[in-house]
Structure 1
C-alpha cells in the first residue's frame, strides 16, 4: 500500500511539471523455470503429446494442474490453451474427471488442432467454510495467471486462453469469463500481474450465478422458489452458508455479504466485451426443482445465462433441449472453443 501511495504522489507532483512523465509499474524478473518431468498420458491420443502431471501453481496440496501439449512444438512456437475446471459443488471432485466421460473426445480434438489442454484442482469448501466460494474460484484464476506467467517456457500463447467446465467448474469458467480482470499491475508478484481474461468459455450443467438469492427472481421466474427454504428442506443449508463463510443465513443480508454476493454474481458481470459463451444442459425435463442437485443443475440456469448474454450483446450458443434452445448451426463445445482460439469457421 505504501509503495502505491508513493507512486500516486509522484504522479501528483508530475501534474505540476511542464514535461510529461509516464509512470508504469517497475519491471520484475522472469519466473524461475519450472522443473517438469513428462509422464505417460492418462488417455489414448491420436497425436503425440507431452503430459505433465501435478504442476504446483500454489502452496496448497490442491493447487495442482495437469498439462497436455503437442509433442512436436517448434522452437518459439506458441499454442492456445483450453483449461478444464472440474465439478463437485466445490466440495468434492478433481481434475482426474477430465479423463473420463465425454471430455476426452474434446481433448483429442484440441491436440489434433495443436491446442494445449490443462486440468486444474482447487481448494474445496469445508462444511463450515470461512472463506466461501470465492476461494476455489480465485484459485482457478491463480492457475490461469500462473500459466500465463510461465507461457514462454510452456510454449503457450497467453493471448489465446479458453476454459471449459462442468457444474461448479462451469460456473467458475463463466465467472472468469465475465469478471473484470483480476490482474494487479503493481504487485510484487509476477503471477498476480497476469491477466485472468479468457477468449471463450464452454459451460456444461452450470449455475447461472453464485448469488443464490438471485435464483428465485432470475433463474426461476416461472415459479416462486424460496431457495433458502428449499435448501433447508433438502439438506443444502450448510452448503449455502459455506458459500459465503457465514454461520447464519440471516447474515446474507449484511453489507459485507451483499458485496460478496455481488462479486460472485456472474450474470451481473456479463457485458458485450466478455468471453463468448457456449452453454449446455441436457436434462430431459425442466420441472420444479425438488432436490438440491436439481436446484444446482436445473436447465433454467442455462436459460438465465443465455438470456443475460443476449441482453448484453455477447455471443452465446445454447443447447437446452428441455427448453427448446438450440442454435441453427450445430456446434459442439470443442468446435466453439476452437473457432474462438483458431478463428475457424464462421459465426453461427
Structure 2
C-alpha cells in the first residue's frame, strides 16, 4: 500500500476530516485524484467506507490517488452545509496538490447515495471559488474533471417523485435536510426555493463535467409502483435516466448503468482516463 494520511483537517467542524491514499508514481509525475464522499442519508456514514468500493481498487492499481472525506450531518447542519463541505474538500485537495503530488487539473469526484448527490451538485455548480475571500482555501477552484455516482439522487425535490412514483412516501430525512419541523412546510415558498437550489439536476449546463452514474437495482417499471420500498425509490435508476436525458440534450458525456445494464470490464478506468485528458481548474489553485 502506498502512503496513507488519516484524519487530515480541512475545516473547523469535527466532521471536517479526510483520508488520503496516495498513489505510487514510479516516474515521480503528479497523479490524478478521485475524491469520494460516503452515503448514509446525510445522517450517518464515514469516510472509511471508500476502501470497500471497487472504484478504490481500480484507482489504486491505476496510479490514481484517492481522498475520502466526512461532511456535516443534517441532524445539526441542514442544507446547504453538506454541499458546502463537498466544495471545500475539492478546494482543499487542490490547495494541497503540490504537497501530495496531485495534478490539480485532474481531480474527479465520486460518491454513494447522499455523497453521490453532494458531488453531483458540486460538479454541476462548477467553480464556486471566492477570489475575494480572506481564506486561501476558498480562493481555489472547485471545478472537477468528472463525476462518478453510485445509487445517487439527482434531486432533493419531493415534486420529482409526484410525477414518477405512484406512492406517497416522503424521502427519508427530508425535513431534517431542509431544517424544518413538519412535512407541510415543504410547500412553503422559501422551502420550494431551497428544493430547487438543492437539486443537482437543475444546474446541468453545456459545460457540465462528464458523468458516470450507476445503480444497484434494475430500471424496472415507471411510474414506480406504490408498494416499492422507499429505499429503492430514492435510489431508483430513474434518477440516472433523467440525468442522462438532460446531459444528452447538452451533448455532454454521460454513462448510465444499472443492474439490468451492468458495468463493463474496465469501464470505470476508461471513463476516468478519458475525462482526465484535459486539465480543469488548475489555474485557480
Give the TM-score normalised by structure 2.
0.87
1:240 aligns with 2:179: no
In structure 2, the partner of 1:26 is none
* 1:331 to 1:276, Cα distance in 2 relative to 1, 3 A: farther
Residue 311 of structure 1: which of 249, 252, 256 is its match?
249
Question: Is contact 1:79–1:114 with CA below 8 Å preserved after alignment?
Answer: yes
Please report how far the alpha carbon of residue 313 of structure 1 lies from its aligned counterpart in structure 2 after TM superposition. Answer: 1.9
Q: Deviations over 1:234-255 (max 9, x none)?
A: xx56x11111111222322333
Secondary structure, aligned partner of 2:18 = strand
Question: Is contact 1:110–1:338 with CA below 8 Å preserved after alignment?
Answer: no
1:320 aligns with 2:254: no
Higher relative contact order (CA 8 A, sep 6+): 2
Residue 268 of structure 2: which of 325, 328, 333 is its match?
333
Between Structure 1 and Structure 2, the one with more helix by share is 1
Residue 32 of structure 2: which of 67, 73, 80 is its match?
80
Q: Deviations over 1:223-280 (max 9, x none)?
A: 545xxx412xxxx56x111111112223223332222222111111011211111111
* 1:71 to 1:332, Cα distance in 2 relative to 1, 3 A: closer
Secondary structure, aligned partner of 1:181 = coil
Q: Deviations over 1:56-109 (max 9, x none)?
A: 11112211111111345666x422110111111111111111112xx2x43333
Please report how far the alpha carbon of residue 342 of structure 1 lies from its aligned counterpart in structure 2 after TM superposition. Answer: 4.6
1:196 aligns with 2:127: no
In structure 2, the partner of 1:160 is 106
Question: Is contact 1:88–1:167 with CA below 8 Å preserved after alignment?
Answer: yes
How many angstroms apart in 2 are the aligned matches of 1:136 and 1:73? 36
1:249 aligns with 2:183: yes
* 1:317 to 1:179, Cα distance in 2 relative to 1, 3 A: same
Q: How does 1:186-225 map to 2 (within 5 A)?
A: 186-217=132-163, 220=164, 223-225=165-167
In structure 2, the partner of 1:61 is 14
In structure 2, the partner of 1:230 is 169
Bigger mean CA deviation after superposition, 106-115 or 300-309? 106-115
Unaligned runs of 5+ in 1: 1-44, 344-348
* 1:158 to 1:241, Cα distance in 2 relative to 1, 3 A: same
Secondary structure, aligned partner of 2:43 = coil
Secondary structure, aligned partner of 2:98 = helix
How many angstroms apart in 2 are the aligned matches of 1:258 and 1:159? 36
In structure 1, the partner of 2:283 is none
How many angstroms apart in 2 are the aligned matches of 1:266 and 1:331? 27
Give the TM-score normalised by structure 1.
0.72
Secondary structure, aligned partner of 2:68 = strand
Q: CA RMSD in A?
A: 2.3
Residue 301 of structure 1: which of 212, 222, 239 is its match?
239
In structure 1, the partner of 2:47 is 95
Unaligned runs of 5+ in 2: 279-285
Please report how far the alpha carbon of residue 112 of structure 1 lies from its aligned counterpart in structure 2 after TM superposition. Answer: 3.2
For the pair shown, the structure with the greater C-alpha radius of gyration is 1
Question: Is contact 1:62–1:121 with CA below 8 Å preserved after alignment?
Answer: yes
